[in-house]
Amino acid sequence: MFNEEMRFESPIRWAMVGGGRGSEIGHAHRAGAQRDGLFQLVAGAFDIDPARCRDFGTKLGLDPTRAYADYLSMFRLEAARLDGIQAVSIATPNATHYAISKAALEAGLHVICEKPVTFSADEARDLQRRAQAAKRVFGVMYGYAGFPMLHQAREMIRRGDLGDIRVINMQFAHGFHSDEIEKHSPGAQWRMNPAVSGPSFVLGDLGTHTWFLAGMLTGCEVERLCCMRQSFVHSRAPLEDNAHVMLQFKNGAVGTLWASAVNAGSMHQQKIRVVGEKASIEWWDEHPNQLRYEVQGQPAQLLDRGMGYLYNEVPGIATNRIGGGHAEGFFESWANLYHRFGLAMAAADCDDQATLESLWYPDIAAGVEGVRLLECCVESADNGARWVNF
């Protein structure tokens, strides 16, 4: 079980770009990163508005001089300090990720960036090359990937409990944008603007999450795909608020991905179902402590986090912070990922390749794949749902 015993002599000095007051996801980063004491927030360029950044940073307990007006000043001034930042998380709207990540790597920092990591796969590959050359850790915040029951699912598939994989069904389909809420929600407004959001809306905002989970669980590689996308709220065009993708994998498996923000009445409905020749598993993010396991010809089973019958010897499954039956959730998943990011950063700093190779976490390679998905989907959808090689 995880507790606060796992510590560094001094925590990683950590900053954020974005994630300021009122942002959707800033708190999740701070809650996840600081949970185990491996990171300490010491600086930030949290907000596009410098005065609000200073006020917010001060209220978070930072030295006011380390709540910076912009990220370039932060990287420059922190580099000049003996106790300057070592790592940064980027939680700004999509259009800014590439430039901020590039500047952070140039400043010698480890980076954790939100998804979709860039607008184009070329930009994402460029970040990958830069991170490798600088020997810096580059994590991508596919935040659901820290849930222990997903690691149980991954291990069951790896051990062959399901047999060969035949079908992978993915969906992340909520209803929060069923009407034109961008008229009064700034967080929704930028998501509908291609200049800030990128070439897609729901595929990038939602689809990349479940897509990453499918790859993480099954290791199946996509051969080709076919996508159709719509803007049911017409003012959102060319960005889609609903999309369906059909997928063919190299091993002969097939799959679908439904990403939607107009699934009226739905809270999240992020689900992944993997069907093998002997059995199927299904995970639902609204009940993340359970994994449904259905063996053909037997009653369905509901496996629960924290129980002795899981493959607890596998890292990622026994990352409990409290016993089974108590609900762990989103913040714990993020803390599990930040824990791994922290260990990877410490290993990179002392060039400990063995530890680095043994640590799994969503990295920039996963970021590249997410952006490739978007590029292929847009190419397919905008050419009459044509099949596109991945």
Residue 162 · residue 156 · CB < 8 Å = yes
Q: State which residue, 26 or 306, has the beta carbon closest to ligand NAI.
A: 26
Task: Please select the residue that binds ligand NAI; options are 36, 47, 123, 332, rule is CB under 6 A.
Answer: 47
Partner residues linked to 112 by β-bridges: 89, 139
- Phi first, then psi: give them for residue 295, nearest 5 degrees: -95, 130
Task: Please select the residue that binds ligand NAI; options are 23, 86, 200, 242, rule is CB under 6 A.
Answer: 23
What letter represents residue 58's amino acid? T
Task: Please select the residue that binds ligand NAI; options are 87, 112, 124, 141, rule is CB under 6 A.
Answer: 141
- Least distance from ligand NAI to the Cβ atom of residue 359, Å: 20
Per-residue binding letters, 90-129, with ligand NAI (x by CB under 6 A):
-xxxx-x-----------------xx--------------
Cβ neighbours of 295 (radius 10 Å): 14
Q: According to the binding rule CB under 6 A, does residue 286 interact with ligand NAI?
A: no
Q: State which residue, 190 or 284, has the beta carbon closest to ligand NAI.
A: 190
Residue 368 has which token pair? Answer: 């590249």
- Least distance from ligand NAI to the Cβ atom of residue 330, Å: 8
Task: Please select the residue that binds ligand NAI; options are 20, 139, 148, 199, rule is CB under 6 A.
Answer: 20
The end-to-end CA distance of the chain, in Å, is 40
Residue 208 has which token pair? Answer: 């990349």
Spacing of C-alpha 260 from chain mean position: 17
Cα separation, 213 vs 257, in Å, equals: 12
Contacts of 350 (CB under 8 A, 6+ apart): none
Q: State which residue, 151 or 280, has the beta carbon closest to ligand NAI.
A: 151
Residue in 15, 138, 106 with CA at minimum distance from that of residue 68: 15
Q: According to the binding rule CB under 6 A, does residue 329 interact with ligand NAI?
A: no
Q: According to the binding rule CB under 6 A, does residue 205 interact with ligand NAI?
A: yes
Q: State which residue, 91 or 239, has the beta carbon closest to ligand NAI.
A: 91
Q: Which residues bind ligand NAI (CB under 6 A)?
A: 17-20, 23-25, 45-48, 71, 91-94, 96, 114-115, 141, 143, 187, 190, 205
